[in-house]
Each structure stands twice: as C-alpha cells, then as structure tokens.
C-alpha cells in the first residue's frame, strides 16, 4: 500500500499545477511582487510559508470543532502570528544570520492571503492529515512560482544567481558583458514581477486550455 492514497497525492500535486494559488487563484501576489528581486529571498520566503502553512493548517484543523464561527478569522490570524513569532525567536537564538534575512518577511507572511485562504477553505472542514497535505501542497505551489520569478528577475536584472555573477562583471565588462550585453534594470523593480507572473500564467493556460475562463 502506498503511503499516500490517490486523493491525498492530489492534495499535494493539484496546487503545484492546475490549482496553483498564484497563477490560477491569483492569491499571494503581493509577496510575489515584493521579494522576488533576488533568488535567495524567494527561497527563504518559500520555506517559511511551507512551515507556517503546514503547521498552521494542522493547528486550525485540530481546533476546527471548537472555534466559534463568529471570531474564526481572528483565531486564524492569532495562530499565524504566533507561529511566525515563535519561528522568528527560535531563529534569532539558534540561526542568527538566517533570522536577519528572514526578518523582512515576517510581516509579509502574516498578511499572506494564501494562508488565511487555506485555513478558511480547507483546514476548517477537513481532518488533520489531509489539512497538513493541503498546506504543504499549496505552500509548494506558491514557492515554485516564487522561485521561478526570482530566478528570472535576478538573472536578467542583476546578472547573478544567489548573488554569484553568472554573466561576468558588468562594471569591468567581462564575460557576456564584453559583447555589449547590459543588465535590464527594469527586471529588479516590482512591476517586472507582474509581467513575469503574467507570462507564466500565459504559458500555463496555453498548455492546458481547460484552465481558460469562458466569457
């Protein structure tokens, strides 16, 4: 017997492609614009969201029968904020360098609409294991797009990946820059992220025509 049933596998795989939180549901766009100028920041953000959404979905699912529906949004916010603060404090104590990179994103994780969206749409009505898989799946779907956008923006905008120069030195004109190539400064400003996300959405829908809305 497989560890995951087919239904469970779909919980993880669907958000990666045909039900992607960014490209299909168009959630979490704000952080996709704000922090994808560098690949490293995208990766750190993706990992933090995987943790917060995975654990958060479990906590909400455990409490799903006792949360008063009138204040469920507040309860969800409290759970997210608590998790984020604990992560931040633990990192500050044991991985100080990493916590400095992460500190920028703490506020962004709390406001990330994907997290509240999954709490509200899934964890409140499903058991713990399925909620956990759903959380991991959606966070992965979010992370994949974030990393793809970060890859193109850092490569084309700064000519680097993870801060390593891949095209040569733009100031002393070595490598690719000797042929007259220039970094595209437009790629490092936020609107470029919208265009990159737009192109990803375009490619995805032209591959799978069932995703195109009719009107």
Partner 1 sequence: MALNTEKNVYTVLFAALMVIAVGSVLAFVASGLSEKIRENERFEKQQNILYAMGVNENANEGSVNFVPTTEVEAEFQKYITEQWIINGEQRTQNQEAYLIDLKKEIAAAKKGQVPRLPVFIGEKDGQKYHILPMYGKGLWDAIWGFISVDENMVVQGVYFDHKAETPGLGANIKQRYFMDDFIGESLMDGSRYTGVSVAKGNNDPLNQRKEDNAVDALAGATITGNGVSAMIRESVNLYKDYLETIREN
Binding site for partner 1 (CB under 8 A): 34-35, 37-38, 40-41, 65-71, 74-75, 78, 82, 85-86, 89-90, 92-94, 96, 103-104, 153-154, 157-158, 163, 165, 171-172, 185, 188-189
Q: Least CB distance from residue 57 to partner 1, whole Å?
A: 18
Q: Least CB distance from residue 134 to partner 1, whole Å?
A: 23
CB count in 10 Å sphere of residue 147 = 15
Minimum CB distance to partner 1 smaller for 49 or for 133:
49
DSSP 71-129: GHHHHHHHHHHHHHHHHHHHHHHH-HHHHHHHHHHHHHHHT-HHHHHHHHHTGGGS-HH
Taking Cα atoms as reference points, which of 6, 4, 123 lies closest to residue 56? 123
Minimum CB distance to partner 1 smaller for 92 or for 205:
92
Q: How many CA atoms lie within 13 A of 68 on its CB side?
A: 3
Q: Least CB distance from residue 159 to partner 1, whole Å?
A: 12
CB count in 10 Å sphere of residue 27 = 19
Minimum CB distance to partner 1 smaller for 183 or for 204:
183
Minimum CB distance to partner 1 smaller for 78 or for 199:
78
């Amino acid at each position: 017997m497989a560890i995951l049933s087919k239904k469970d596998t779909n919980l993880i795989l669907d958000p990666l492609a045909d039900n992607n939180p960014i490209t299909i549901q168009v959630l979490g766009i704000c952080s996709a614009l704000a922090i994808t100028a560098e690949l490293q920041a995208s990766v750190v953000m993706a990992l933090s969201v995987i943790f917060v959404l995975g654990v958060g979905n479990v906590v909400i699912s455990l409490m799903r029968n006792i949360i008063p529906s009138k204040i469920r949004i507040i309860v969800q916010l409290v759970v997210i904020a608590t998790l984020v603060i604990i992560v931040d404090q633990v990192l500050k104590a044991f991985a100080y360098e990493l916590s400095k990179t992460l500190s920028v994103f703490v506020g962004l994780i709390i406001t990330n609409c994907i997290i509240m969206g999954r709490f509200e749409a899934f964890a409140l009505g499903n058991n713990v294991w399925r909620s956990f898989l759903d959380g991991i799946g959606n966070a992965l779907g979010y992370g994949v797009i974030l990393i793809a956008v970060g890859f193109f923006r850092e490569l084309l905008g700064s000519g680097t990946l993870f801060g390593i120069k891949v095209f040569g030195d733009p100031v002393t004109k070595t490598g690719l820059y000797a042929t007259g190539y220039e970094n595209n400064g437009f790629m490092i400003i936020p609107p470029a992220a919208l265009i990159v996300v737009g192109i990803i959405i375009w490619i995805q829908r032209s591959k799978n025509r069932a995703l195109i809305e009719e009107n």
